[in-house]
Amino acid sequence: MKKALAVLLTLSLLLMAVPGFAEEPAATLTVTFDLNTTPDTTDNETYIYTATGYNEYWQPVTEEKEAVFTTEDGVLAVDLPVPTREGWYFAGWQTRPVVTADDLINGVSPYLWMPGHKASAFGQAMQAEDEVIDLNPFADENSKVRLYARWVQLTPIDSPEGLQAMANDLYGAYELTADIEMTDTFIPVGCYFNNYELFETAWWTYAFRGTLIGNGHTISGLKLQGAVRDIAGYVDTPVWHNDGVTCDGTVGLFGAVAGANLSGFTLKDAVIDVAGEYAYDGGYCYVGTVAAFDMASTLSDIHVENVTINVEDTEVHAEVRDSAYVSVAGLEGGGWNSTVQNCSVSGTVSLDVRTEKSHGGSVYLGGMIAENYANISGCKVDQITLRLNHQDVSLAAEDTALSVSVGGLGASNTSTTNCDVNAMIEVSVEKPVGEAVVAVGGLAGSQYYMTAEKNNVQTEIQMNNKLDAEKGIESVGSVAGQLDAFWALQILQYTPVAACGTSGNTAQATCNGDPVGTVIGKVPMLDGQPLGWINNGEYQIAEGYTAPSNVEAVIEAYGSPVPQEAMMQGIIWIQAD
């Protein structure tokens, strides 16, 4: 990512009081989560939920809990999953029992209670404010607080106007009831503000947080132009919980989704035009037909047919930009902790990047996902052409390393199983001075975290790069362009035993007409040998043999996104076959 944010595998749902919000220490508060399924708000509909934890042997342990909590000072610690109700969809916990469509402002309820810290652990280190919602103002005379579930039912959509109207309730539930032929330029639903990546998922306020069920219907002729978003209405009505000042640089049916569920529809003959008069020259740029950016959503049975994407990232008008950052793909641009199942993409995705003032940066181009760390299974990329033309012609005094990742399925990859890829990839990168890594793979440009297993890959790659003779690196693999040791270390935050790399794939790739003989173009090395594992602390590999730790040497050679003390005592097995 444009910021070295940790993979959000679990949410930390801790509530802290805003400094200065309450002048006097609060009395003991009793907080009740009410399912709110009847008009009578005095009845007892306390939420009973199943909590899952882990014992000392890392085995799951579950128990039922009542969602009633007490706090002495307004600081409430909860770990509460999303409730379910047959025939209804959950739209967030509210501080009042009845919230209607007329109450919503920019698609969001002003009575929405936001759980947990606004910032992630990394975000807290990056920004001074850690915003939370103090429960004290909502307490009654008995120091009791009741939070009410908001429930919505499916809204039918059978027209372009209906699709656009999803922006009126970003936490709503929708279903397609007919095929839709688009006629006008579409405005992406949901916003990715420029500080969202620092936040826990629940605080992505203006992302689409709801449900879209396609029922097998087709949306034809989606047209998206430019990457500049008009947020005048958000300025007129103060942005909810101090979201960022801009959401430019995001293009897709959805500008952002977070914790959403999207399923069962086809986007046919979509055209995304961010070139020529619509070229973008701002900061980050995320482009994807379905979603520009995704945090922890589930996408299933979505098919992007014959898409045409043209993105031109320039610096014609940009006054300040440290380096290029652009992430483009056929389904989703950027993302964390998403699930993508049984989806497909076909068409052409073209990306032109020209840096004149800044130097280096990060460029991601993928058939289905770009810089998007998702769990992907049963997906297909077929009859797709990926074209990247990057020219770094800057006269910047200081060199900034350029990182380019291009892959038939994804630019950067985490866990991918049982996917099929048939792609043509054309890459031309010009950075004749300074550091650069151009990683191109039939499946993934860069393999980060976890593994790519049991995929079938057929790819033709054309490379025409002009890089620094000493500091420029090309790495091409039939499955992955490179395996990144820096990001692999992230895994040891979450589990004591893991695997990273590729295994059991069927892949045939050519580069400039010659067969690609390596599965992973660039693998991490230590003392001149490929890494077989990364071990933090002693680890018993077999009876009578305990491997000493090598994590210090790996961190010294490659760096780490997390400090060693945050890692579990465990091992990451490196696979490259």
* CA separation for the pair 412, 536 (Å, rounded): 25
Least confident of 53-67, 158-172, 482-496: 53-67
Q: Which residue has the higher pLDDT, 481 or 113?
A: 481
Mean pLDDT of the chain: 89
Indicate the pLDDT class of residue 124, thresholds 50, 70 and 90. Answer: low
Beta strands in 67-179 (DSSP E): 68-71, 76-77, 89-94, 144-152, 154-157, 173-176
Least confident of 56-60, 85-89, 404-408, 433-437: 56-60
* CA separation for the pair 145, 139 (Å, rounded): 5
Which range scores top for mean pLDDT: 126-140, 228-242, 454-468?
454-468
**Helix residue ranges per DSSP H, 200-310:** 232-236
Indicate the pLDDT class of residue 395, thresholds 50, 70 and 90. Answer: low
* Look-up of token digits 């992505």: 204
Domain ranges of the chain: 14-150, 153-400, 441-577
Render 30-76 in DSSP notation, one character per residue: EEEEE---SS-TTS--BPEEEEEEE-TTS-EEEEEEE-EEEESSS-E
Q: Which residue has the higher pLDDT, 541 or 204?
A: 204
Amino acid, res. 90: F
Radius of gyration of the chain (CA): 24
- 468-473 average pLDDT score: 94
* CA separation for the pair 214, 218 (Å, rounded): 8
Length of the chain: 577
For residue 498, the cross-strand partners are 572
| Residue 234, pLDDT score | 81
| Residue 481, pLDDT score | 97
Asked if residue 482 lies in contact with residue 500, where contact means CB atoms within 8 angstroms, the answer is no
- 49-60 average pLDDT score: 78
Percent of the chain with pLDDT over 70: 91
| Residue 447, pLDDT score | 95
3-state secondary structure (DSSP) of residue 166: helix
Predicted confidence (pLDDT) at residue 350 exceeds the cutoff of 90: yes
Predicted confidence (pLDDT) at residue 10 exceeds the cutoff of 80: no
Q: Which residue has the higher pLDDT, 10 or 493?
A: 493
3-state secondary structure (DSSP) of residue 197: helix
Predicted model pTM: 0.91
* CA separation for the pair 204, 193 (Å, rounded): 8
| Residue 129, pLDDT score | 53
Indicate the pLDDT class of residue 321, thresholds 50, 70 and 90. Answer: low
| Residue 552, pLDDT score | 96
Spell out the long-range contacts of 60-69 with Cβ–Cβ below 8 A and sequence spacing 24 or more: 67/32, 67/33, 68/30, 68/31, 68/32, 68/33, 69/30, 69/31
| Residue 270, pLDDT score | 98
- 445-461 average pLDDT score: 96
Q: Which residue has the higher pLDDT, 544 or 327?
A: 327
* Look-up of token digits 């099929």: 420
Least confident of 161-165, 237-241, 397-401, 476-480: 237-241
Predicted confidence (pLDDT) at residue 20 exceeds the cutoff of 70: no
- 413-429 average pLDDT score: 97
Calculated CA dihedral for residues 487, 491, 497, 503, nearest 10 degrees:
-50
Tokens for 202? 């629940």
User: What is the DSSP pairing of strand 223-225 with strand 271-274?
Assistant: parallel
List all residues 6 or more positions away from 478 whose beta carbon is below 8 Å from its beta carbon: 441, 442, 457, 459, 507, 508, 509, 516, 517, 518, 519
Indicate the pLDDT class of residue 11, thresholds 50, 70 and 90. Answer: very low
Rounded to an integer, what is the distance from CA 531 to the centroid of its chain?
28
| Residue 320, pLDDT score | 54
Q: Which residue has the higher pLDDT, 195 or 130?
A: 195
Least confident of 19-23, 73-77, 492-496: 19-23
Indicate the pLDDT class of residue 52, thresholds 50, 70 and 90. Answer: confident
| Residue 22, pLDDT score | 36
